[in-house]
């Protein structure tokens, strides 16, 4: 999914608990699902950011040289302005775009 085009809010907003626990019937189960999805999103964003910043990395052995790369700063600022992974995960969950299954849905034979 392209998180840059997400319609998730950038700041924290108040949520109705009945909307959050409606898909699962349990608020705690819903929050665990959102937390796990948030961890996945955070890891994907971190990997993507690191790969983009790697293009501008300098591998010189001189520690006294400090490179201020304008492109790196702009990329970092862009990722800082994105909605936080928790907000993206909550929006996905409330829109019904998160697939989940619990241990009760697995049939043991």
More confident of the two residues 69 and 84:
84
DSSP single-letter state for residue 23: T
Residues 98 and 86: beta-carbon distance below 8 Å: no
Ramachandran sector of residue 96 (left: φ over 0; alpha: ψ -120 to 50; beta: rest):
left
What pLDDT does 40 receive?
Answer: 94
Mean pLDDT of 7-15: 82
- Secondary element (H or E) of residue 35: helix 27-54
Nearest-angstrom CA–CA distance, 37 and 53:
24
Report pLDDT digits (tens) over 12-42: 888 888 999 888 888 999 999 999 999 999 9
What pLDDT does 31 receive?
Answer: 92
Nearest-angstrom CA–CA distance, 66 and 31:
43
């Amino acid at each position: 999914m392209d998180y840059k085009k997400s319609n998730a809010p950038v700041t924290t907003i108040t949520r109705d608990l009945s909307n959050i626990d409606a898909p699962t019937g349990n608020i705690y189960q819903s929050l665990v699902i959102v937390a796990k999805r948030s961890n996945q999103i955070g890891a994907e964003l971190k990997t993507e950011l690191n790969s983009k910043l790697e293009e501008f990395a300098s591998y010189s052995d001189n520690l006294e040289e400090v490179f201020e790369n304008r492109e790196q700063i702009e990329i970092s600022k862009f990722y800082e302005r994105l909605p936080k992974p928790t907000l993206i995960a909550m929006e996905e969950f409330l829109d019904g775009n998160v697939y989940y299954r619990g241990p009760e849905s697995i049939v043991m034979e």
